[in-house]
Structure 1
């Protein structure tokens, strides 16, 4: 993973004083700019349970002997607009600074530049700059999904219709029409189908990725169907579900060819359709 700032840039910012620090408030403006406290490390991550949201966090891990109180964190990257976290969190071991990630852009790297305003024990407020490392790659995947969605959005408008259940019991399927209306802005983007999830699989007639669906996003609007049925009738799987309605939308385009794991984003079904899918599961399985 590429760090968004080189050591020379970091050093220049530290030597140049507070004027180099973005989004300063009055407290930070009067604080000393110092190297990051020894033993303090920053990571950038999104937990699996939050994948349905845009919430991510900078995790600060303190391996030193002193308590840290963080007051402000400015998180920036070439791949999304700057985010500012404010609060007052004292910690000895670790703390998560949660925030909503703005829409991501295509690009390389997933680590973030972080400017921290904090104090050590009861000492003065200081400011340091560091890199929050995407150690598990979750943020990279997050931003790559945004990239895929941005690329598709440049080629076509995506519209979801009203879902409905067709059939009864084990013969039933949940059907959701999805319409792509080409914008005419480009002719090299292709919809490659919907992915299965841990909770649902694509039923017959679905525009599934595994059936080699290929819809060039040019010309007249085209409507395809997401047709799903439970992957297995397991009450515990339904009760514990967190990511079972995150249907990947596969996208093919020249700039997406080298994305790790392929290019896709999650179909934006919203809370109402998500609840309807969960509600379909039990009657289909007979419980």
Structure 2
């Protein structure tokens, strides 16, 4: 049953904000582009001409966007660079721009250069910025790669195909979440482990803002966790919590958590086991978005699953 949250306990999740930012190309890059075409002389024979930098990728080099399961929680993605040319290439800065994003996605590890051998491919992880709601336009996203050589550096830009469509789904979910958070903030604010055979308690705090109305229909189980008393074929812990367009005290809902499976590799290889789908009804339309418990609580939950399942005993 819902109960009022203690004033010191409920910490509502922050509302997503859109922040636009730009990233300037280093002065060395601009200088190298201006100086393109210069010939560098050497001591042992005639110098070889340096080709002008091209606005496109080298022949045979392709890029695409992807998101692995491990990328979902930290809101990251991969720029997969495939080198189909006959020579190795080196890639420095990476920048993904898309009208559905409020700014560029850039390398998670800055100032790194990735060398891609001929015939090889590399996944370069980028940090996704907040989404833009609504999207700026319907244009296609692009990837800019800094191609590095011994003598110069140049930026090449190409389209950014997303074969699996993860970015479209991410944009839809997070824009829905922004609309929901205008009416009420939702966050997981507590976890109480339990002995084997008994459900643990996962606290979901719902804090009305007074600016809108929403119905929290329920929370779905994950590939690792389920809810006590919910048949496996249903996979939804029903809440049917109506939030009116009026300011109200925070509400804490205790969800009875139980492991969905007890094979050790499910914990050791966990990627999405603590990311829950929350179903809502907003303006009469159904929808859902993802809600992560956070890294600290994730570690506690995975430890509890191991104890509950008696791994190693």
**TM-score normalized by the length of structure 1:** 0.76
The SS at the match of 1:43 is strand
- How has the CA–CA distance of structure 1 residues 234 and 67 changed in structure 2, closer, same or farther, with 3 Å as cutoff? closer
- The alignment yields a C-alpha RMSD, in angstroms, of 3.0
**Within 1, Cα distance between the matches of 2:88 and 2:78?**
20
- Correspondent of 1:61 among 71, 82, 103: 82
Q: Aligned pair 1:98/2:119, yes or no?
A: no
Query: Equivalences for 1:1-287 in 2 at 5 Å?
Result: 23-30=24-31, 31=33, 32-80=53-101, 81-85=103-107, 86-92=111-117, 93-107=120-134, 112-119=141-148, 124-165=152-193, 168-170=195-197, 172-187=198-213, 189-204=214-229, 210=236, 212-218=238-244, 219=246, 220=248, 221-254=250-283, 262-266=287-291, 268-287=292-311
Corresponding residue pairs, total: 257
CA contact (8 A) 2:190 2:204 kept: no
1:10 equivalent in structure 2: none
**Within 2, Cα distance between the matches of 1:202 and 1:153?**
24
**Within 1, Cα distance between the matches of 2:90 and 2:113?**
6
1:156-214 deviation line (CA, Å, top 9, x unaligned) = 12243332135x431x1111222211112222x32221111111112238xx9735532
**Within 1, Cα distance between the matches of 2:97 and 2:165?**
17
1:7-43 deviation line (CA, Å, top 9, x unaligned) = xxxxxxxxxxxxxx96222133232443332222111
Deviation at 1:228, TM superposition (A): 1.1
1:127-173 deviation line (CA, Å, top 9, x unaligned) = 2221121112233333333223322222112243332135x431x11
The SS at the match of 1:50 is helix
The SS at the match of 1:185 is coil
Higher helix share: 1
**Within 1, Cα distance between the matches of 2:307 and 2:94?**
47
Structure with the greater alpha carbon radius of gyration: 2
- How has the CA–CA distance of structure 1 residues 160 and 244 changed in structure 2, closer, same or farther, with 3 Å as cutoff? closer
- How has the CA–CA distance of structure 1 residues 129 and 256 changed in structure 2, closer, same or farther, with 3 Å as cutoff? farther
**TM-score normalized by the length of structure 2:** 0.71
**Within 2, Cα distance between the matches of 1:136 and 1:250?**
23
Q: Which runs of 5+ in 1 are unaligned?
A: 1-20
